[in-house]
């Protein structure tokens, strides 16, 4: 057969190209839309994406569909190794946003002459998607953070020491799921340097990194959240500064404070001190009865804190404790990795 006899004319090639990229753009938008629907439960994002898909559908004219030729498209079925590496929702979202954006750019370029209305629509949606992608990725990161938080059983709170980085790294290697950076007695530059280093290490181990008190440092090092005490900023002010996707924790020392933090929308709570602790000597230990009350007072993820170590974990679990926050049990241990494993085992 003479190849020239089946080679489409230039106009048909453009129509075929437009058809293919309308399909790609709409498919990419649909993947992202379904994540926003089922993964994020964000009706506002779903509506925007659905409207864009419908708008492109109105431009998918019969003449473009009639030009479709899957037999002559050698690109069908081609895969790239990077496709196999999309193991997290944010990677799928980013890939499909990129797919839609690239397809929209092709439509904008090739439809400018034969279909200027389609070209204009593609351009508007492409620029809108650039902005929406950031919103979706941030929301996705927030969802992933809250899932990690729910699955977290032990939080390690730091204290100042010369081998801080080595201690935290050893604990992360042993499986700790959450680090809260707490530093009361050094200058801001040192705090920033330490927090930045710890944030980087936590990202490597896919652990949550929380900064105590300092919202500015938390934002500067791209931490996963901020932990506030009873004398720190109100939750609504903190939320306005960190945005909806970062975690906000609050220390609580009474059932009333637990209820208040719940009403304010805190993502997690510190509850205690349960046992005597040198970290907060001014606060009287609440004891196991308080733990029992707290377990019935809130459904928000909460961490028992204060004098907790491997020897009293069993008594805490009997009272319904699912998460603990520790300092000395790991930070002051001669073998932080072993101490971490003991804590994790005790909470499993």
Domains identified in the chain, total number: 2
Question: Are residue 223 and residue 135 in the same domain, yes or no?
Answer: no
Q: Do residues 137 and 226 share a domain?
A: no
Helix (H, G, I), strand (E, B) or coil at 303: strand
Q: Can you tell me which residue has the tokens 């969802």? A: 143
Residues 22 and 109 in one domain: yes
Whether the model pTM is above 0.85? no
Q: Are residues 86 and 161 in the same domain?
A: no
Provide the domain limits for residue 67: 3-145
Q: Same structural domain for residues 89 and 230?
A: no
Same domain as 194, residue 332: yes
Calculate the CA 194 to chain-centre distance. Answer: 22
Q: What is the pLDDT of residues 276-291, one digit of tens each?
A: 887 777 778 888 989 9
Domain boundary among 145, 177, 208: 145
Structural domain ending residue among the three candidates 101, 125, 145: 145
Question: How far, in Å, CA of 17 to CA of 103, rounded?
Answer: 10
Q: In the prediction, which pLDDT does 72 show? A: 55
Residue pair 211/238 in contact by the 8 Å Cβ criterion: no
Last residue of a domain, one of 94, 112, 145: 145
Task: Answer yes or no: do 35 and 181 share one domain.
Answer: no
- Give the Cα separation of 188 and 146 in Å (integer): 29
Residue 57 sits in the same domain as residue 205: no
What pLDDT sits at residue 292?
87
Q: What percent of the chain has pLDDT over 90?
A: 78
How far out from the chain centre does Cα 1 lie? 56
196 and 283 share one domain: yes
CATH at 252: 3.20.20.70
Q: Which helix (H) or strand (E) holds 92?
A: helix 89-110
Q: Are strands 208-212 and 225-228 parallel, antiparallel or unpaired?
A: parallel
pLDDT digits (tens, 9 = 90+) for 326-347: 999 999 999 999 999 999 999 8
Residue-level pLDDT, tens digit, the chain, 348 residues: 444 445 455 688 999 999 999 999 999 999 999 999 999 999 999 999 999 999 999 999 999 999 987 655 555 555 545 555 556 788 999 999 999 999 999 999 999 999 999 999 999 999 999 999 999 998 998 999 999 999 999 999 999 899 999 999 999 999 999 999 998 888 999 999 999 999 999 999 999 999 999 999 999 999 999 999 999 999 999 999 999 999 999 999 999 999 999 999 999 999 999 998 877 777 788 889 899 899 899 999 999 999 999 889 989 988 889 999 999 999 999 999 999 999 999 988
What is the model's pLDDT at position 88? Answer: 78
């Amino acid at each position: 057969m003479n190849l020239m006899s089946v080679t489409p004319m230039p106009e048909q090639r453009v129509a075929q190209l437009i058809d293919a990229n309308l399909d790609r753009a709409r498919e990419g938008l649909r993947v992202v839309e379904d994540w926003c629907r089922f993964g994020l439960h964000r009706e506002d994002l779903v509506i925007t994406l659905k409207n864009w898909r419908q708008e492109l559908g109105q431009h998918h004219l019969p003449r473009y569909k009639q030009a479709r030729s899957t037999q002559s498209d050698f690109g069908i079925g081609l895969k790239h190794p990077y496709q196999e590496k999309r193991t997290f929702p944010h990677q799928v979202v980013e890939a499909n946003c990129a797919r839609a954006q690239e397809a929209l750019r092709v439509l904008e370029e090739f439809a400018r002459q034969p279909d200027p209305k389609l070209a204009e629509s593609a351009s508007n949606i492409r620029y809108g998607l650039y902005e929406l992608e950031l919103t979706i990725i941030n929301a996705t990161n927030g969802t992933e953070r809250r899932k990690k938080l729910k699955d977290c059983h032990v939080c390690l709170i730091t204290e100042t020491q010369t081998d801080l980085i080595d201690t935290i790294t050893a604990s992360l290697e042993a499986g700790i799921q959450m680090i809260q950076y707490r530093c009361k007695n050094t200058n801001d530059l040192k705090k920033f340097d330490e927090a930045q280093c710890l944030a980087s290490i936590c990202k490597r181990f896919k652990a949550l990194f929380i900064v105590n008190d300092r919202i500015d440092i938390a934002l500067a090092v791209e931490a996963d959240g901020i932990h506030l005490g009873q004398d720190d900023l109100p939750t609504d002010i903190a939320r306005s500064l960190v945005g909806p996707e970062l975690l906000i924790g609050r220390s609580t020392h009474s059932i009333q404070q637990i209820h208040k933090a719940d009403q304010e929308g805190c993502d997690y709570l510190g509850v205690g001190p349960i046992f005597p602790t040198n970290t907060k000597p001014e606060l009287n230990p609440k004891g196991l009865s308080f733990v029992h009350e707290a377990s019935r007072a809130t459904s928000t993820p909460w961490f028992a804190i204060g004098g907790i170590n491997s020897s009293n974990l069993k008594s805490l679990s009997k009272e319904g404790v699912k998460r603990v926050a520790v300092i000395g049990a790991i930070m002051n241990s001669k073998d932080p990795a072993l101490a971490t494993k003991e804590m994790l085992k005790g909470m499993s």
